[in-house]
Amino acid sequence: MELGAEIARDFEGREPLLVGSLKASFVFLADLSRAIPIAHALDFVELAGYGSAQMGGHEQIRVLKDLDADIRDRDVLVIEDVIDTGLTLNYLVRTFELRHPRSVGAVTLLDRPYRRLVDELPVRYVGFVVPDELFVGYGFDLDEKWRQLPDLRLVHLAAEPGGLD
> Of 75, 81, 84, 111, which one is the catalytic site residue?
84
> Among candidates 56, 61, 57, 27, which has minimal Cα distance to 44?
27
Rounded to a whole number of angstroms, the minimum distance from the CB of residue 118 to other proteins is 6
Applying CB under 8 A, the span of 7-15, 33-41, 99-107, 118-126 interacting with other proteins comes to 118-126
Q: How many CB atoms lie within 10 A of CB 29?
A: 24
Q: 2 vs 114, which CB is nearer to other proteins?
A: 114
Amino acid letter for position 18: L
Rounded to a whole number of angstroms, the minimum distance from the CB of residue 43 to other proteins is 22
Supply φ then ψ for residue 95, to 5 degrees. -65, -45
User: What is the SS3 assignment for 8?
Assistant: helix
**What residues between 146 and 165 interact with other proteins by CB under 8 A?**
157
Distance from C-alpha of 132 to C-alpha of 149, rounded to nearest angstrom: 20
Q: Is 111 a catalytic residue?
A: no
Distance from C-alpha of 104 to C-alpha of 74, rounded to nearest angstrom: 9
Is residue 119 part of the contact set for other proteins (CB under 8 A)?
yes
**What residues between 5 and 64 interact with other proteins by CB under 8 A?**
49-52, 59-61
Distance from C-alpha of 134 to C-alpha of 123, rounded to nearest angstrom: 21
Binding mask 76-115 for other proteins (x = CB under 8 A): --------xx-xx-xx--x--------------------x
Supply φ then ψ for residue 82, to 5 degrees. -155, 145
Which are the catalytic amino acids? Answer: 84
Q: What is the contact surface with other proteins in residues (CB under 8 A)? A: 49-52, 59-61, 84-85, 87-88, 90-91, 94, 115-120, 132, 134, 142-143, 157
